[in-house]
Amino acid sequence: MKRSIKFIFCLFLIVSMLIVIRFPSAFSQEEKAGALAKEISGDIDSVDLKNSAIVIKQLKDEKSLTYETITVYVDNSTSIENDYETITIAEIKAGDRVTVDYATDKAGKNIASNIRVKPKE
């Protein structure tokens, strides 16, 4: 009986160690970019073509009408669309209404994956 318990315990330890060795990222303290994915909707406050960044102004509190701004950077993998047509950051203008999917990298920089410019009504 004691021998079978020891065998099962050793087998459990070996299997556990193999899982940790095979899939170390599953047990790391680092969060993955997908887990950090966020979305923001608001109006474009400004566009910085030199740094490939947009500043989005979003209503923070309806009661007091306070706003917050967030800077989001555009890179080569960012998809930008206006009414289902692909556009560039240079075609985004202050006042445009956007929805942006982004993730925060390890340096704290917000990187856009998708920017959807909403058509003006």
> In this predicted structure, what is the pLDDT of residue 31?
43
Residues 53 and 4 in one domain: no
Residues 60, 40, single domain; the answer is yes
CA-to-CA distance for 48 and 42, rounded, in angstroms?
17
Same domain assignment for residues 55 and 81: yes
Q: Clarify whether residues 38 and 26 are in a common domain.
A: no
Nearest to 89 by CA among 81, 97, 107: 81
Whether residues 94 and 112 fall in one domain: yes
CATH number for the domain spanning 71: value is 2.40.50.320
The pTM of this model reads 0.68
CA torsion sign, 55 to 43 to 46 to 84?
A: positive
* pLDDT for position 27: 47
pLDDT for 72: 97
Does one domain contain both 21 and 58? no
Asked if residue 49 and residue 23 are part of one domain, the reply reads: no
Each residue's pLDDT tens digit in the chain (121 positions)?
Answer: 667 777 776 677 677 666 656 655 544 444 444 446 899 999 999 999 999 999 999 988 888 889 999 999 999 999 999 988 999 999 999 999 999 999 999 889 999 999 999 976 6
Enclosing domain of residue 80: 33-117
Q: Are residues 52 and 86 in the same domain?
A: yes
- What is the model's pLDDT at position 22? 60
Strand partners, 100: 40, 115
Number of domains the chain contains: 2
Are 37 and 18 within one domain? no
If asked whether residues 22 and 47 sit together in one domain, one would say no
2 vs 9: CA distance, rounded Å: 11
What pLDDT score does 87 carry? 96
Q: What is the pLDDT of residue 119?
A: 72
